[in-house]
Amino acid sequence: MILTLNLAVLLAVIIVLRLRRRVQARSRSDQMLTVALVLVFGVLIAPTSFGQGVLNFVGQLSQSISEAGSP
């Protein structure tokens, strides 16, 4: 569990640094690498309590949006 959190923090820092670059300067392979890093980050953070909290929040948000759109 400790290793997972440390690796997730490292990936979060790498993702933030990669996303700070200008969009025009990215190649397709660079974009694919960023997507792969974000997917791995999601898999690493999902079983943690923080990941479960984010999942619950997004679920409640999407449920409230779908209920607001229906008559």
* pTM for the structure as a whole: 0.61
The angle subtended at Cα 32 by Cα 11 and Cα 17, nearest 5°, is: 40
Is pLDDT above 70 for 7? yes
Are residues 37 and 11 in contact, defined by beta-carbon separation less than 8 angstroms? Answer: yes
Sign of CA dihedral 41, 42, 48, 51: positive
Q: 32-50 pLDDT, tens per residue?
A: 888 888 888 888 788 888 8
Q: Which range, of 15-19, 20-24, 57-61, averages the lowest pLDDT?
A: 20-24
Is pLDDT above 70 for 3? no
How is the chain split into domains, by residue range?
2-69
Interatomic CA distance for residues 34 and 6, integer angstroms? 19
